Copies of this chain bind each other. A is one copy, B any other.
């Protein structure tokens, strides 16, 4: 899966130069268009070698309203290329606020002036710290839209040890308790494939946790960040694919988008080659 974390200081060569209206429109509109151009070219290059794109919402919202509109355009383009879109925003909140986030992600907002279309994504990451009622509204909205959610369970960063790995008095860790919550929320959403519409984020940098995560969440799609720039190895991820190839979604972002920087070759060809290498490594496990 292709992570889309556009860094406006590292757009592909030519994107800035070919921006036809630069200087005639506002910086925010110029950069919005350049980001759509960059992400579009990246998607076109990599689409045949992946099943999904994972835009990092932070990278778009720092560009303001035009960044948000760019995100919508990028999501539409990915869908047109036959890819799933996974919004990585790690939202978490309750009640009407969670419903508002879910409208932005999966549905639309009704207004007196007409509906405002949301992003229409297929999956979205959520943060379950606030408990069941901070995840359920996302699950409900996703299910109604034929989409799904991926809850943070055991992330790929060193700080995961601070809270997620804490040992509980009842036994097990915080992250294992989160895994149980994911399994419970997902039971009603298990489809014919045996996979549920409630999945989990389990980092590639702690592969020893993957087998336990799969045991606690037998039906969950596992989104596995941390391959590539963060140091995780695809070869360690076999447990994720126990229910089949669709059971694991391996994400890489900078190692694909910036592959050309090391070799100096054509950005699109380098991105495609790196994506194909990762796909072959992941599918060799399944």
A98 at the interface (CB under 8 A from B): yes
Measured CB to CB, the nearest residue on chain B to A107 is B62
Known interface pairs A58-B91, A64-B72, A159-B132. Does A170 touch B170 (Cβ–Cβ under 8 Å)? no
A273 at the interface (CB under 8 A from B): no
Residues of B within 8 A of A160 (CB): 130-131
Shortest CB–CB separation between residue A72 and chain B, in angstroms? 7
* Cβ–Cβ contact A61 & B101, under 8 A: yes
Interface segment, one of A77-85, A113-121, A243-251, A275-283 = A113-121
Contact of A111 among B31, B109, B158, B163 (CB under 8 A): B31
Shortest CB–CB separation between residue A137 and chain B, in angstroms? 11
Q: How many copies does the complex hold?
A: 2
The complex places the Cα of A7 from the Cα of B164 at a distance, in Å, of 34
Residues of B within 8 A of A161 (CB): 131
Contact with B along A100-131 (1 / 0, CB 8 A): 11011000011111111110000000011111
Residues of B within 8 A of A170 (CB): 166-167
* Cβ–Cβ contact A112 & B34, under 8 A: yes
* Cβ–Cβ contact A66 & B67, under 8 A: no
A177 at the interface (CB under 8 A from B): yes
26 contacts between A and B (CB under 8 A): A5-B96, A5-B97, A7-B96, A16-B112, A28-B116, A30-B113, A34-B112, A58-B101, A61-B61, A61-B68, A62-B118, A63-B109, A64-B117, A65-B69, A65-B72, A90-B92, A92-B92, A94-B155, A127-B127, A127-B129, A130-B163, A131-B163, A163-B177, A163-B181, A166-B177, A167-B170
Residues of chain A at interface, number, CB under 8 A: 76
A residues whose Cβ falls under 8 Å from a Cβ of B: 5, 7-9, 11, 16, 19, 22, 27-28, 30-31, 34, 56, 58-59, 61-69, 72, 90-98, 100-101, 103-104, 109-118, 127-134, 152, 155, 157-164, 166-170, 174, 177-178, 181
Indicate the member of A61, A114, A127 with the most B CB atoms within 10 Å.
A61
Shortest CB–CB separation between residue A153 and chain B, in angstroms? 10
Residues of B within 8 A of A31 (CB): 111-113, 116
* Cβ–Cβ contact A163 & B174, under 8 A: yes
Shortest CB–CB separation between residue A157 and chain B, in angstroms? 4
Indicate the member of A30, A117, A130, A158 with the most B CB atoms within 10 Å.
A130
Shortest CB–CB separation between residue A284 and chain B, in angstroms? 29
* Cβ–Cβ contact B162 & A181, under 8 A: yes
Contact of A168 among B11, B97, B157, B167 (CB under 8 A): B167
